[in-house]
Amino acid sequence: MTGVLARSVSTPRRPTCSLRKKKLHMISARMSSRHRREYDAGNYEKKSIPWETQSRASESPGAIIDATFADDVFDEGGDPSVTALEQKLVELTGKEAALWVLSGTMGNQICLRTHLTQPPHSVLLDHRAHIYTWESGALPVMSQASVTPVHPANGIHLTLEDVKKNMIPEENFHFPPTRVVALENTLNGTVLPLKHAKEISDYVRSYPVSPGQKRVAMPLDGARVFDAAAGEGIDIKDYCACFDSISVCLAKGVGAPIGSVILGSKPFIARAKWFKKMFGGGTRQPGMMAAAAHAALTNSIPQLPRVHSLTKSTAARLSALGYTFSSPVQTNMILLDLEAAGIPVAAFVDYLTEAGVQVFPTPRLVFHYQTAQEAADKLVDGLGLLIQDKKAGKDLVARKMTGGYAKGGSE
């Protein structure tokens, strides 16, 4: 996340734990099967762990303590906490099966690798797609796939016409045929509407292929798909039905400490498990992180409309000050166009730091369910002073900035 809006509340202290030393070895290289059985059976002393009431994420620590400790690699039945999280996502999305993975990048790349068989093949996607721009070049390495990056004609999201114009058929052996059309929702906070997703899906799924060849696949980078559904006011199951696989990140707006879940058909997930192992995704006791993610998921989704409302009201205040945006403000992101305002990134960072708001050196402001009105007010105050000084002709500091997602440094 770039330009993450700082919390206006103090950072919660690490919970203090009075569990007796020999009763529960929570942080260990491995937990013996005997210890796991004893823990799951409740044969340990558990006492309450105080957590600051100011934090709205207080469900996660308690969930971690109550988590199961099965082994993701060797236990055939899986971990109950992980299974519960996967089942929750299955129920929410309407997909057949799910698989917990370590990160959004891992989830995306597992989905792509599972859909693709062998070269020559190519993936059609938005030129700003995370799988293309922010995953360290994993797609050609992991899946040996070429890429067809497309600039949306409307400047916001791909449409059926964009896809039709850029599909590569099998007839010409000079070009790798399109085997995957990968979409992302949201992208920079903008929604790819259900109407367009369905039109693209119907076209792609009926696209002609050679006998014996798998049809063109439709994966969704749904890192923020819950924001997309809330932003459009639709049932997320209807949206997910347009896609063969979905990767849902739980460590962004959902607020979990780690992890993503990929979803698809049962055969798809069965094959995806091979690639999860191949990509180093096996873990020993993932139950703690899965339980925290489950708690965060339950807590955050109902609050998304409020988050979007705060984002849009803040954007309106910034617009009134004279700021413009490089993308429409539709969900939980504000992308300031500092270049249009003639404001250096360094000044953007410095003024907001002075106002008590920490940002990365890229003008991408991401709101979430822990963002309070007080934080939004500080943001507006800091940016208000910045543009006031700019209009008054004050010299603004311009220096190279690094960190966050600034490519090669920003000025």
Give the pLDDT of residue 360. 92
**pLDDT tens column, 68-85:** 888 878 877 888 999 999
Nearest alpha-carbon partner for 330 in 229, 250, 197: 229
- What would the mean pLDDT of 387-400 be, rounded to a whole number? 93
Say which range, 8-17, 162-171, 215-224, has the weakest mean pLDDT: 8-17
Q: Output 389 or 53, whichever has higher pLDDT.
A: 389
Residues 6+ away with beta carbon under 8 Å from 244: 115, 217, 218, 219, 264, 265, 268
Fold of 80-300: Aspartate Aminotransferase; domain 2 (3.40.640)
Q: 87, 260 in Cβ contact below 8 A?
A: no
Q: 135, 108 in Cβ contact below 8 A?
A: yes
Per-residue confidence at 269, pLDDT binned at 50, 70, 90? very high
Report residue 314 as tokens.
């803040």
Tell whether the model's pLDDT for residue 221 goes beyond 70: yes
The average confidence (pLDDT) of the chain is 86
**pLDDT tens column, 88-111:** 999 999 999 999 999 999 999 999
Give the pLDDT of residue 406. 65
The full set of domain ranges for the chain reads 80-300, 303-390
Per-residue confidence at 27, pLDDT binned at 50, 70, 90? very low
Give the pLDDT of residue 72. 78
Q: What is the DSSP letter of 361?
A: S
**pLDDT tens column, 279-333:** 999 988 899 999 999 999 999 999 999 999 999 999 999 999 999 999 999 999 9
**pLDDT tens column, 149-176:** 999 999 999 999 999 999 999 998 999 9
Nearest alpha-carbon partner for 296 in 98, 85, 103: 85
Give the pLDDT of residue 75. 77
**pLDDT tens column, 336-386:** 999 999 999 999 999 999 999 999 999 999 999 999 999 999 999 999 999
| CATH 3.40.1350.10 is right for the domain spanning 303-390 | no
